[in-house]
Structure 1
Amino acid sequence: MKTLFSAILMAALAVGIHAQSRLDNAKKQASQNKQLILLNFSGSDWCIPCIKLHKNIIETDEFKKLETENFIVYINADFPRNKKNQLSSELKKENASLAEQYNQKGLFPYTLLLNSEGKVLKSWEGLPSENALAFSKEIRDIKEHQK
């Protein structure tokens, strides 16, 4: 009985520890490299504004420069509906935990710019009106004012 209880406890702790691993890793990386964290909540296979956001901003070279030039750490908390696009149970739990903490209204798309401690610096509800260049510039400007 002790062994069963220990196994259940270890499994619960492992899930709890893993549930925030992307955010925890992003906070650590952001702190070490003086970066910001961009957290995006999306429905990649059902939310038309989410799909447009990814196509017109996140997948562009201008946005990717933010990552390669160490301005941001990017996290996508995706909530797909189609069976073929389902995430692992661990990733589903992690995304649900992120939503519980940062997106309690269940908005899609919903994008947050966080500092290395996880404090919200800016949020975008829905599809940002800016193009990729303007969106990236806004993030760069916010980061510059953080110094």
Structure 2
Amino acid sequence: MGKIYLILVFFIGLVSTQAQELKWHTDVKEAMAIGSKEHKPLLLFFTGSDWCGWCIRLQKEVLTTPEFRKWAKEKVILVELDYPRAVPQTPAIKQQNYELQNAFGVQGYPTVWFATAQIKDGKPAFGGLGKTGYVPGGPVAWLEVANGILNQK
């Protein structure tokens, strides 16, 4: 009985660890600090998580796959900028997200911007590397586009 319990605890821990592999930041200043420390660009995911069909599809087909997780851990700092209809957000997050939507000229969802970021005069300053959205073909096709953007810098 003890061995079964230990095996069960091990597998639950393994599943929990895999589920927590990626950290999607919602505070862009926090993500900028980490990106600066790790010398990685930001991946800014503009999404309507609870209503946008293409956003949900991008999540399912790409952003939750093992291929994406491996790539993201090596290449970028993840930032989710959500514009939900039914999920409550703090006023600070709403304001931040709308300011970034305007700064990047986002007019539709999903939009994924890759950007460098730094603080200048106490405010975030971004260098846009490029953008994409939903790409048919799963993680391989999407990552090919993403790598093309990142390799231009």
Q: TM-score, normalised by structure 1?
A: 0.70
2:89 corresponds, among 77, 84, 87, to 87
Partners of 1:129 and 1:89 lie apart in 2 by 34
Cα distance, 1:60 vs structure 2: 1.2
- Measured on the aligned residues, the alpha-carbon RMSD in Å equals 2.2
Instruction: State yes or no: 1:22 paired with 2:23.
Output: no
**Do the aligned residues in 2 keep the contact of 1:30 with 1:37 (CA within 8 Å)?**
yes
Cα distance, 1:136 vs structure 2: 2.5
1:134 corresponds, among 120, 126, 141, to 141
- In the other structure, the counterpart of 2:80 is 76
Query: What is the total number of aligned residue pairs between the two structures?
Result: 121
- In the other structure, the counterpart of 1:103 is 105
Partners of 1:30 and 1:130 lie apart in 2 by 29
**Do the aligned residues in 2 keep the contact of 1:46 with 1:80 (CA within 8 Å)?**
yes
- In the other structure, the counterpart of 2:128 is 120
Hey, which of these two has a bigger chunk of strand by percent? 2
**Do the aligned residues in 2 keep the contact of 1:35 with 1:116 (CA within 8 Å)?**
no
Cα distance, 1:58 vs structure 2: 1.0
- In the other structure, the counterpart of 1:37 is 42
2:59 corresponds, among 49, 54, 66, to 54
Q: 3-state DSSP class of the match of 1:115? A: strand
Q: 1:66 to 1:22 in 2, by over 3 A?
A: farther
Hey, which of these two has a bigger chunk of helix by percent? 1
Q: List runs of 5+ in structure 1 lacking aligned partners.
A: 1-20
Q: List runs of 5+ in structure 2 lacking aligned partners.
A: 1-25, 119-125
Using CA pairs under 8 Å that are at least 6 residues apart, name the structure with larger relative contact order, 1 or 2.
Answer: 1
Amino acid paired to 2:127: K
**Do the aligned residues in 2 keep the contact of 1:103 with 1:110 (CA within 8 Å)?**
no
Q: TM-score, normalised by structure 2?
A: 0.68
Partners of 1:140 and 1:123 lie apart in 2 by 11
**Do the aligned residues in 1 keep the contact of 2:135 with 2:141 (CA within 8 Å)?**
no
**Do the aligned residues in 1 keep the contact of 2:55 with 2:134 (CA within 8 Å)?**
yes
